[in-house]
């Protein structure tokens, strides 16, 4: 006779696991944003992708990848230096999935030029779903796709690398890049004395036969098992960008000495190392002295991915909260029917509506930038604002979603605890919050005419939605003032919310755009979720759209 699982009680009133879901078809705001930004034709493939990534097995592998952290092996059994990182098979599983799907390269053509629209939107939709499942492996995937933008400064080098970069075969072997079926690329800028101010880099590069020899260090050096890295170092002509491979041209292991792996708050499946460069071989990318100009092409795209990824993290936190509330009964009523919980969930849902609309609209600008100067300016002006706002929003958002699950939200077997630890990093790396705001000021100062045109376009898109016109004039006024830097956060926040309202006006139902404008731009909301004045029918609309069954 089989015994019941518990002798003492029956387990009931627990929500079923949130797994085996279609991450695309259950997400109406994502479907709307994809359609509004030109990728409707990709919907069937996105639904396949959403089912694959929402499978219970994927969610389980994500847990394994994060609970079994990578390990540094500096020497082999005979004492030779190797400096390799050993990962759990689950990490390799995700790398193979994402690279197999082309997330590291699908926005480029074979020669490294941008792919035709809607490549950026289509990739971002996939990236957004991947971010809901496993974040650590996305670091090398992001850096690989973004590195191509910097490599365009060196066409001959790009031509050699592109066949390996664009391959959809994940090849984790520790071998020279030219012998491998596919490669990944990383990035090294941050040193001990400064990360935001990279001009303070002390790493030196001396011209040598075939290239340069680099000596120095990097204090944060993520995904060190990439096959090559774009690094900044001081050449005779000033700060310069280099490509530093793991193997020197003669096939010897190059002088990248991994010192240790960071012990991190989150992002645990990914290895982030400290590295010293001991006379390491490197090739110059772009002219000497133009290192920041060259690598910024890469950084712009990694910043975009930070925003898309934070939006994905928020989406998964919301989905978990709504799912739980629909199945949990408290005080004889489902949580999802309790009036105050409905307002909390709807206030969370409208935030995700806004961030997904915002990032997908930005991706459309990047899609069209090569052929439309207005979209190029929009991308330039808004990328730092979107990175700032979306990444900053994620940690507080995940915390509130976690509370919707009560105690179950706080334990490691569920997903919220990992999402909560993951959420802050996107705001820190690739330019912290203040640095993003300074970037917005710089971009608006440099491109004054396109900036005015952008504000006008945003207001036009918003129509007569509350708060839009006054937000735009407040931003324009503040930009010219002497204290603009001191007030930059307020200004950038308003800009991002104005852009989000405009994006919602283009992709979401009018009631959603109006409720967002009313509660965010017209500022009729308190400091916590659940304080937005949302009408009953808007609440019902938001909750239905958030998780379609
Ligand atoms: C997990 C992880 C992985 C990473 N991986 C990599 C990697 O692979 N490659 C790499 O190059 N870097 C990497 N980084 C480093 C990251 O990009 C830097 O930490 C970041 O750019 C900030 O630099 P910093 O730590 O030196 O801080 P600082 O530059 O000292 O900044 C500290 C604070 O000061 C603020 N600040 C700076 N300037 C101003 C100003 N003018 N006015 C007002 N405030 C200002 C910043 O916003 C920040 O809040 C990683 C970081 C983490 C956490």
pLDDT digits (tens, 9 = 90+) for 97-129: 999 999 999 999 999 999 999 999 999 999 999
- Provide, for the chain, the percentages of residues in helix, strand and coil under a 3-state DSSP scheme, each rounded to the nearest 5: 55, 15, 30
Rounded average pLDDT over 152-172: 98
CB of residue 429 inside a 6 A radius of ligand 1: yes
Q: Are 450 and 374 in contact (CB under 8 A)?
A: yes
Mean pLDDT of 510-516: 98
Atom nearest to 485 CA in ligand 1: 42
pLDDT, tens digit, 9 for 90 and up, residues 265-286? 999 999 999 999 999 999 999 9
Q: What is the pLDDT of residue 338?
A: 98
Instruction: Sort residue 439 into left (φ over 0), alpha (ψ -120 to 50) or beta.
Output: alpha
Q: What is the spatial distance between Cα 286 and Cα 441, in angstroms, rounded to a whole number?
A: 26
Task: Decide if 541 contacts 350 (C-beta within 8 A).
Answer: no
Is the CB of residue 307 less than 8 Å from the CB of residue 258?
Answer: no
User: What does the alpha-carbon distance between residue 357 and residue 157 come to, in Å, rounded to a whole number?
Assistant: 37
Q: Mean pLDDT, to the nearest integer, of 346-358?
A: 98
- Which helix (H) or strand (E) is 332 found in, with range? none
Which band of pLDDT confidence, cut at 50, 70 and 90, is reported for residue 1? low
Determine the pLDDT at residue 441. Answer: 97
User: Distance between CA atoms of 90 and 458, rounded to whole angstroms?
Assistant: 43
- Nearest protein CA to atom 42 of ligand 1, as residue: 434
CA of 189 to the centre of ligand 1 (A): 10
What pairing do the DSSP bridges indicate for beta strands 272-285 and 238-245?
Answer: antiparallel
Give me the pLDDT at residue 7, please.
86
Among 239, 426, 432, which is best to mutate for testing ligand 1, by the most ligand atoms less than 8 A from CB?
A: 432
How far apart, in whole angstroms, are the C-alpha atoms of residue 475 and residue 492? 8
Q: Of 429, 405, 385, 383, which Cα lies nearest the Cα of 316?
A: 405
Q: Does the pLDDT at position 50 exceed 60?
A: yes
pTM: 0.98
Question: Which tops the pLDDT comparison, 326 or 5?
Answer: 326
Contacts of 226 (CB under 8 A, 6+ apart): 140, 143, 144, 183, 184, 185, 186, 246
pLDDT at 3: 66
Q: What is the pLDDT of residues 443-461, one digit of tens each?
A: 999 989 999 999 999 999 9
C-alpha 438 to ligand 1 mean position (Å): 14
pLDDT, tens digit, for every residue of 196-243?
999 999 999 999 988 999 999 999 999 999 999 999 999 999 999 999
């Amino acid at each position: 006779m089989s015994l019941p699982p518990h002798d003492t009680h029956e387990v009931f009133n627990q929500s079923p696991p949130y797994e085996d879901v279609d991450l695309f078809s259950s997400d109406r705001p994502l479907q709307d944003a994809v359609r509004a930004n030109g990728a409707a034709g990709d919907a069937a493939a996105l639904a396949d992708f959403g089912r694959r990534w929402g499978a219970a097995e994927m969610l389980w592998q994500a847990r394994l990848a994060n609970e079994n952290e990578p390990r540094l092996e500096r020497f082999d059994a005979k004492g030779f230096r190797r400096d390799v990182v050993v990962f759990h098979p689950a990490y390799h599983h995700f790398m193979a999935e994402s690279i197999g799907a082309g997330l590291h390269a699908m926005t480029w053509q074979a020669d490294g030029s941008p792919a035709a629209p809607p490549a950026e939107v289509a990739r971002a939709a996939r990236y957004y779903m991947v971010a809901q499942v496993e974040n650590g492996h996305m670091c090398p995937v992001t850096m690989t796709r973004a590195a191509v933008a910097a490599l365009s400064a060196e066409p001959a080098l790009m031509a050699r690398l592109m066949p390996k970069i664009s391959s959809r075969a994940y090849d984790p072997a520790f071998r020279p890049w030219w012998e491998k079926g596919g490669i990944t690329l990383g990035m090294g800028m941050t040193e001990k004395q400064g990360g935001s101010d990279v001009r303070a880099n002390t790493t030196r590069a001396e011209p040598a036969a075939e290239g340069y020899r680099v000596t120095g260090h990097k204090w944060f050096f993520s995904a060190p098992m990439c096959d090559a890295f774009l690094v900044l170092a001081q050449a005779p002509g000033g700060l310069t960008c280099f490509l530093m491979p793991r193997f020197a041209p003669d096939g010897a292991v190059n002088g990248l000495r991994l010192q240790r792996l960071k012990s991190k708050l989150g992002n645990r499946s990914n290895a982030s190392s400290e590295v010293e460069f001991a006379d390491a071989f490197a090739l110059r990318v772009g002219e000497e002295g133009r290192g920041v100009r060259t690598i910024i092409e890469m950084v712009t795209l990694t910043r975009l991915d930070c925003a898309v990824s934070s939006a994905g993290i928020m989406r998964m936190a919301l989905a978990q909260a709504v799912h739980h509330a629909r199945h949990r009964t408290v005080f004889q009523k489902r949580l999802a029917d309790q009036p105050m919980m409905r307002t909390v969930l709807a206030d969370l849902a409208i935030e995700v509506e806004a961030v997904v609309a915002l990032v997908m609209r930005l991706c459309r600008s990047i899609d069209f930038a090569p052929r439309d100067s207005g979209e190029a300016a929009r991308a330039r002006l808004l990328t730092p604002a979107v990175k700032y706002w979306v990444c900053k929003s994620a940690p507080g958002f995940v915390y509130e979603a976690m509370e919707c699950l009560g105690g179950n939200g706080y334990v490691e077997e569920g997903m919220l605890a990992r999402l909560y630890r993951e959420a802050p990093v996107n705001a820190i790396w690739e330019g912290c919050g203040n640095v993003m705001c300074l970037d917005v000021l710089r971009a608006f100062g440099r491109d004054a005419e396109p900036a005015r045109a952008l504000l006008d376009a945003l207001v036009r898109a918003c129509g007569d939605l509350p708060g839009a016109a006054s937000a735009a004039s407040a931003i324009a006024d503040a930009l010219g003032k002497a204290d603009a830097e001191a007030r930059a956060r307020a200004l950038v926040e308003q800009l991002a919310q104005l852009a989000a309202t405009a994006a919602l006006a283009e992709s979401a139902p009018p009631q959603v755009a109006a409720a967002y404008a009313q509660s965010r731009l017209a500022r009729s909301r308190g400091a916590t979720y659940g304080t937005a004045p949302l009408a009953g029918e808007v609440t019902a609309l938001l909750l239905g759209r958030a998780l379609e069954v």
